[in-house]
Amino acid sequence: MAAGGEPARLWLVLLLLLQLETPCSSACGSPGQQGWPVPYRRFDYRPKTDAYCQARYTFCPTGSPIPVMRDDDVLEVFRLQAPVWEFKYGALLGHMKIMHDAVGFKSSLSGKNYTMEWYELFQLGNCTFPHLRPNLLAPFWCNQGAACFYEGIDDAHWKENGTLVLVTTISGAMFNQMAKWVKYDNETGIYYETWMVKESPQEQARVWFEPYECSKFVQRTYQKLAELGAIFKKIQTNYTTITLFSGEPVCFGNETAIFGPHGNKTLALAIRDFYSPFKPYHSAKEFFLNLLRIFDEVAVDHQFYLFYNLEYWFLPMKYPFMKIAYEEIPLPHSNSTKLGI
């Protein structure tokens, strides 16, 4: 234990100093100090969802654990993408490409194929808008998301108005490594984040918050595979992003800080008010109407209260306020040295 003493004490002093230097207003993890975008928070474990949150559609009904492949298997990896909602919206939404993303795998040894995706436990509306419950001051969120793995690829579903395309080929050994990462990712990344928040529509504009949704999971998976040595094809891969535009965000703190006994009542009511026009329960169509309503509210007041990492942030909104885009995020560059597969 000889190494324990001095360095440990030094660290303790440093830590204390750091804490003293943090402005005490900061109930928030990282106001500016860690820079932007605010890092998505990972947790030690996934809490049980509250019984109030009831899924209309069972999450991952045919899910199974990720099987172990033989190291010398060869698997094809597919990019899967399809419109989120398979019904017609009419002219209003006709030109918005709101896509859902997933990854497919096909084992050449067994011939079996699999789909892997990450999505909301209680659907998009519940991850984007909270419930305002009469007996609770704080807005109530049913906003967990998780990974789902199941056997089979529904070719027709992905192909018809979307995409089913081979992006790379990997070994069974790489697949097994990836599976370990998925387990970690699924246990620590728990809350769905709908919005990207940026300073302006310019490409180089500062990003304040990154979304955390299905497409980000797919992109992380590709990145992991590239790190494991996968070499991706040169094809264009576009994804849907819902972006808000705002000046520098201000953190207010978590639920307890705002809605607890020592919270600022004016602020608490302002946040509740902000969310009151929106209904998390309903259909996809209503989700859209809610989005448009947000747009109205935001364009008039230039205010948005974002819930991110379980904390509330104030966004001083700027024109053009909100944008839904379908833009390219390239496949990862493969590491220059490919490990023998």
Ligand X SMILES: *[C@@H]1O[C@H](CO)[C@@H](O)[C@H](O)[C@H]1NC(C)=O
Active-site annotation holder among 28, 148, 214, 251: 214
Please calculate the CA angle 294-37-82 and round it to the nearest 5 degrees. 60
167 Ramachandran zone, left/alpha/beta (phi>0; psi -120 to 50): alpha
Taking CB under 6 A as the rule, does residue 256 contact ligand X? yes
Question: If binding is defined by CB under 6 A, does position 279 make contact with ligand X?
Answer: no
Distance CA 44, CA 188 (A): 6
Active site residue 100: yes
Q: Residue from 96, 98, 267, 322 that binds ligand X (CB under 6 A)? A: 267
Neighbouring residues of 299: CB distance < 8 A, sequence distance ≥ 6: 317, 321
CA 101 to chain centre: 12
Examine residue 276 and tell whether it contacts ligand X (CB under 6 A): no
One symbol per residue from 153 to 182: x for binding ligand X (CB under 6 A), - otherwise; what is it? x-x-x--xx--x-----------------x
Among 54, 62, 108, 276, binds ligand X (CB under 6 A): 54
- Of 28, 100, 142, 148, the active-site residue reads 100
Query: Beta strand 238-246 with 196-198: parallel, antiparallel or unpaired?
Result: parallel
Find the part of the chain contacting ligand X (CB under 6 A) among 11-19, 45-53, 217-225, 287-295: 45-53
Residue 212 CA, distance from chain mean position: 1
The residue within the footprint of ligand X, chosen from 107, 128, 171, 186 (CB under 6 A), is 186
Q: Retrieve residue 142's tokens.
A: 């049913």
Q: Are 142 and 59 in contact (CB under 8 A)?
A: no
Please identify which residue in 270, 284, 289, 322 interacts with ligand X, judged by CB under 6 A: 270
Per DSSP, 293 falls in state: H
For CA atoms 142, 145, 149, 155, the dihedral sign is positive
Of 60, 74, 96, 165, the residue at the interface with ligand X (CB under 6 A) is: 60
| H/E element, 158 | helix 155-161
Active site residues: 100, 214
Give the footprint of ligand X on this chain (CB under 6 A). Answer: 27, 46, 52-56, 60, 63, 66, 78, 83, 86, 104, 106, 113, 122-123, 126, 142, 146-149, 152-153, 155, 157, 160-161, 164, 182, 186, 227-229, 236, 238, 253-254, 256-257, 264, 266-267, 270, 280-281, 326-328, 335, 337, 339
